[in-house]
Amino acid sequence: MKTITIALLLLVNFTVSAKFYKGTILLMDGNSKKGYIELPDYPDDKKIKFREEEKGKTEKIEIEIVKSFEIVNDKNNTVKYITIYLAEPKPFTKNQHKLDDHKSWVKVVKEGKINLYSASAVYSPGSGTGGVTSTYIQKENDKYAYFIADGYGGFNINMNGFSVLKNLLGSIFEKDCPKLVQLLNKDEMKKKGYEYIVELYDKNCGK
């Protein structure tokens, strides 16, 4: 009996914690679905939960057929997410990346000639993992978004943070805009955060 009670409590807690936001999903074929959306727990979740009505039946939509979606958050702001392939730097290499063969969900932070995204994973008390947000940057018309930092919400200086960031950006934009790294200013970065990279590129690089 005690086991059943605990299981029911866990189910109730899970149900209460699930939050659906009013929004629209844009599919790869150009069609769209308006209703209510639950944010994915992890960037590489294979499906997203959708309801036509807030308390209606839940439909699971495959990431491969989704181009993007928008939700209206608790502050009444519209937030956009897209699906894209991510690229992580390979350890012990200067400019090589491990390219994902599956799409991930990322939040749009800033768009320009290049685009800035963040990918978040919720914290799981059971496994002790998650709770991390990583920042990625997409070059002009590139299929992939490239990792540049862990953590988001402004640029946080750590012991070698600025040097590591410059090295990553140097490898990503080595051919497209080699002067980007030379133009980076630590003080401006601290004031504006990672959005500063997009501003700098828009003013000095690309077509």
pLDDT tens digits, one per residue of 37-89: 999 999 999 999 999 999 999 999 999 999 999 999 999 999 999 999 999 99
- Domain segments of the chain: what residues? 69-204
| SS3 state of residue 10 | helix
Where residue 159 falls (left for φ over 0; alpha for ψ -120 to 50; beta otherwise) is: alpha
- pLDDT at position 207 over 80: no
pLDDT tens digits, one per residue of 107-145: 999 999 999 999 998 866 555 556 789 999 999 989 999
**Residue 93, pLDDT score:** 83
Angle made by CA atoms 158, 160, 163, in degrees to the nearest 5? 125
pLDDT tens digits, one per residue of 163-175: 989 999 999 999 9
Q: How big is the chain by its Cα radius of gyration, in Å? A: 19
